[in-house]
A and B are shown apart, each in its own frame.
Chain A
Amino acid sequence: MFTFLWRRLLQGLATLLTSSFLMYLLVSVSIRPLQDLEESTARNKAQLIAARRQILDLDTPVVMRYVKWLGNAVTGDLGTAWRSGQAVNDKLGGAMLSTLQLVGAATILAILFGVAVGIISALRQYSAFDYLITFVSFLLYSLPAFWVAVLLKQWGAIGFNTFLADPVQSWTSILVAGVVLGLLWSLAMGGAWQRRLLTFVLALIATVGVLFYLWASDWWSSPNLGPVLIAVVGIAVAFGVTTLSTGLRHRRSLYSALTVVALGLALYTPLQYMFAYVTFNWLITIGLGFVAALSGYLVGRLWGGPDWAQSARTAAITAVIIATMIFLDRVMQVWPDFFGSQAISGRPIATVGDATPNLGGDFWVQTLDGYTHLILPTISLLLISFAGYTRYARASMLEVMGQDYIRTARAKGLSERTVVMRHGFRNSLIPLATIVPLDIVALFGGAIITEKVFGRPGMGQLFIKSLYNAEIEPIMAYLVITATLAIGANIVADLIYAALDPRIRVNA
């Protein structure tokens, strides 16, 4: 194992070196740093050109320049962008953070939704739901990312902002939303027509109820979750997670999940004080998330039983979801202040950049501001990768459900949930797990377009701008980082594959 890893790392390093050399040659051929001077009519044109050639060291052969660049890069100095005079290292920090936020949010959401929808679609193969999802995923796959992004920016943002300024929903729109969601749910749940009808009616009532509640309680002007909503959603989450994770017949996990929900509610008020007095940052937030998962695990452990691990897992998942809800609740509490702020001027859903300038405010306001900037770019990235994951998940689930061991599992009388979740779902994740790292790299490339449209100062934007400005140093920094990511992702994919599927031998 260790030798395998070592060899792959060495190979990766060699690839990186060669790739950086080739890219350096390509980039230096394709950019024209002298263009603006060559087209100028200044009298001292020749002198200016000579001066710039001097600055950019263009008289040295390309290969020698590469060696120089490499020498600096190895010691951690990625050079300076000559036009702005900024050090590339300074530029990279903020850009990387911005891109990571965007790609991270889009990837997580796309995987969650895409895999869920793809698997349901596979379980209902050749049903109306399956055809619908197939068509929708093909449609999303064929959408140009930039077109969607511009549409969202010019249309979605304006529409949503106008709605938020005066949040009035008509009964027609509520009913239409209810009927559409009801139909989707009943198609996804399937079964005999009585069951479908029941699902439809339940989903319709639930949707209309929720939308009416949001409207009646003036939720859109002061969004919040509050203890009541957290309790209701929390109990539903506890049941849902238990159903998927262990099945409701496993009483101990149901009880531990419900205990976690009660614990979360009991801690709600003390946490509000903590939010008020402790200065928050992301480190504390992530730490608290871990604490939540750990306490969920402990609750499951304390409920005991011979199979406490299952209860612990269920409780930990529930705990993380509850903690996220409490966190979101706190973020939402600053909404009225945020909305009324001078810098926002009544248009909260932003279309440019990744933070409102001169906003001020504490961690919560900044977080909320970050979210409002993330919404639209995330949606536009999400739509396309969602389609990909749906296709992958569907294909791999279909492949798995046709295997002999699924028939065996059914033959020995396991419940449908166990067959699907334990024997089907887990195995269908194997090919998916190897795609995810590679897909994240592809998303990194795709973020170029999204960042350009929404003017987010991320890596892609840095790359494009430097390409326009003919600055080789930032371009090379971007390329090296993407190449490193890609090589790393490939190694990770191989390792995951070897870990998940013992049949694959890592030839050490």
Chain B
Amino acid sequence: MSTPPTPAAHGDSPSGLPDDATDGLESSIELKQVEGLSQGQIVRSRFVRHRAAVVAMFALAFVILLAFTSVGVGPWTGWWKFTPNSTGSLTNAGGLPTMHLPTWLGGEGFAIGDHPFGQDEAGRDVFARVMRGTQTSLVVMVIVGLVSTVVGILVGAVAGYFRGRLDSWLMRFTDLIITIPVLVLGAVLGSLAGGKGGAYLLATFLGLASWTTLARLVRGDFLSLREREFVDAARVAGASDVRIIFKHMLPNSIGVIIVNQTLLMSSAILLETALSFVGLGIKYPNVSLGQLINQYQEAFATRPWLFWWPGLLIVVIALSVNFIGDGLRDAFDPRQKRIPSQRKMEKSLAARVASQVTATTRPQGDLGTGTSLGSGS
């Protein structure tokens, strides 16, 4: 399982700097757009423009809300009638789902019923089980994200800031961890984690295995940041190393960190479910989506609904997180400008020319170059 692609990492120029020498006109328009806004506001407004990311955010929020309120957390049992492990009599023969599609979709009229996702062979409610599994998978995902962020930032920042021997030792260590695929490391460590708190332990282990990419990125960023004037200024003003690292430099590489960690979290959920599927991740008293799929794969021919829902939830969560990550990348990377299609550009240009002639209007031919790749050839 490889880490998601991060094209920004291959750029030669530090991504934080706008190339103002080459395209003065464009960057002045760009600057006018963001005049008087804080970085947070700019990022937010750019993020909102990425429609898929916004939709994904709502989808993820819905899944989180559904998973945690339906079967509850700890002693609270939530609003759903059944608990994940309570057995009962089968409502439909064979445990068929009681959820039906509306008539206009070819179903028998919309209904949720007692067991919308059906029941398994022991009469347990699949909806409750899937929701419990989703909780576990989400918690694992967040813990992996947090642990790997903390370790990655610490290693990367220390290596990049202090350089020298410490840097080379830390990077040697990082190379060492990279030699073992995360899935393999997770499998070995995962067999250590059992019992009630196994999920948290497993998540921590996975986090401890997957910080390497972030550490390398942060180190790279810090190597260039430490040569900047504001770092010198802070040092001259008497700031301590810790203060310089956390107050002055870290906020400057927050974009890289957030984007990378979001994408890491989407691969973390796939990793955890894969491990649980093989039987080396989340174990019996706990329920995870991967484990559910493993349990029910034999029943595919007779009870396919046992198999569809956990998989579908994994896809929804991973897809949402991926899209949010993509939206964040667009929002944090000033080089990523959205170029509207040629038709839209011409339309808006015509509208602008009609209403008023401003100094910033560019000649028609210049506008065409951005999209000529698509219509050329």
Which residues of A are interface residues toward B (Cβ below 8 A)?
A: 15-16, 18-19, 22-23, 26-27, 29-31, 123-127, 135, 138-139, 141-147, 150-151, 154-155, 190-192, 385, 388, 391-392, 395-396, 398-399, 401, 416-417, 420, 431, 438-439, 441-442, 444-446, 448-449, 452, 463-464, 467-468, 475, 478-479, 482-483, 486-487, 490
Contact across chains for A144 and B371 when beta carbons are under 8 A apart:
no
How would residues 307 to 327 of chain B score, 1 for a CB under 8 Å from any chain A CB and 0 otherwise? 100010011001100110010
- Asked if B11 lies at the interface with its beta carbon under 8 angstroms from chain A, I say yes
Contact across chains for A138 and B180 when beta carbons are under 8 A apart:
no
Looking at the complex, which one of A191, A444, A449, A482 makes contact with B375 (CB distance below 8 Å)?
A191
A248 to B74, CA, bound (A): 70
Looking at the complex, which one of A23, A27, A147 makes contact with B293 (CB distance below 8 Å)?
A147
Contact across chains for B1 and A190 when beta carbons are under 8 A apart:
no
A365 to B328, CA, bound (A): 52
Q: At the interface, is chain B mostly helix, strand, loop or mixed? A: helix
**B residues in contact with A155, CB < 8 Å:** 300
- Asked if B278 lies at the interface with its beta carbon under 8 angstroms from chain A, I say yes
A401 to B52, CA, bound (A): 25
**A residues in contact with B314, CB < 8 Å:** 142, 144, 147
A190 to B52, CA, bound (A): 24
Contact across chains for B374 and A125 when beta carbons are under 8 A apart:
yes
Looking at the complex, which one of B4, B172, B187 makes contact with A467 (CB distance below 8 Å)?
B187
Chain A residue nearest to B326 (CB atoms) is A138
Looking at the complex, which one of A19, A192, A395, A431 makes contact with B180 (CB distance below 8 Å)?
A19
**A residues in contact with B40, CB < 8 Å:** none
Contact across chains for A145 and B274 when beta carbons are under 8 A apart:
yes
**A residues in contact with B373, CB < 8 Å:** 123-125, 401
**A residues in contact with B181, CB < 8 Å:** 441-442, 444-446, 482, 486
Chain A residue nearest to B296 (CB atoms) is A150
A18 to B373, CA, bound (A): 50
Q: At the interface, is chain A mostly helix, strand, loop or mixed? A: helix
Chain B residue nearest to A141 (CB atoms) is B322
Contact across chains for B187 and A446 when beta carbons are under 8 A apart:
no
- Asked if B91 lies at the interface with its beta carbon under 8 angstroms from chain A, I say no
- Asked if B5 lies at the interface with its beta carbon under 8 angstroms from chain A, I say yes
A477 to B188, CA, bound (A): 14
A19 to B180, CA, bound (A): 8
**B residues in contact with A141, CB < 8 Å:** 4, 266, 318, 322
Contact across chains for A23 and B188 when beta carbons are under 8 A apart:
yes
A398 to B176, CA, bound (A): 33
A449 to B278, CA, bound (A): 7
**A residues in contact with B338, CB < 8 Å:** 126
CB distance from B8 to the nearest CB of A (A): 9
**B residues in contact with A449, CB < 8 Å:** 183, 274, 277-278
Contact across chains for A126 and B4 when beta carbons are under 8 A apart:
no
A-B contacts, 10 listed (Cβ < 8 Å): A19-B176, A19-B179, A30-B188, A124-B374, A145-B1, A150-B293, A151-B311, A155-B300, A190-B374, A464-B280
**List of 9 A-B pairs having minimum Cβ-Cβ separation, nearest first:** A445-B181, A395-B7, A142-B318, A442-B2, A142-B319, A147-B311, A391-B5, A483-B179, A416-B377
**A residues in contact with B323, CB < 8 Å:** 138
Contact across chains for B280 and A126 when beta carbons are under 8 A apart:
no
A192 to B343, CA, bound (A): 12
Chain A residue nearest to B321 (CB atoms) is A142
Contact across chains for B322 and A463 when beta carbons are under 8 A apart:
no
CB distance from A122 to the nearest CB of B (A): 8
**B residues in contact with A464, CB < 8 Å:** 187, 278, 280
- Asked if B166 lies at the interface with its beta carbon under 8 angstroms from chain A, I say no
Contact across chains for A445 and B278 when beta carbons are under 8 A apart:
no
How would residues 11 to 32 of chain B score, 1 for a CB under 8 Å from any chain A CB and 0 otherwise? 1000000000000000000000
12 more contacts with CB within 8 A, not counting A26-B189, A139-B319, A398-B7, are: A30-B188, A31-B191, A125-B371, A126-B341, A144-B318, A395-B7, A396-B7, A401-B373, A438-B2, A449-B274, A468-B279, A487-B179
**B residues in contact with A417, CB < 8 Å:** 377
A59 to B277, CA, bound (A): 34
A191 to B188, CA, bound (A): 53
- Asked if B184 lies at the interface with its beta carbon under 8 angstroms from chain A, I say yes
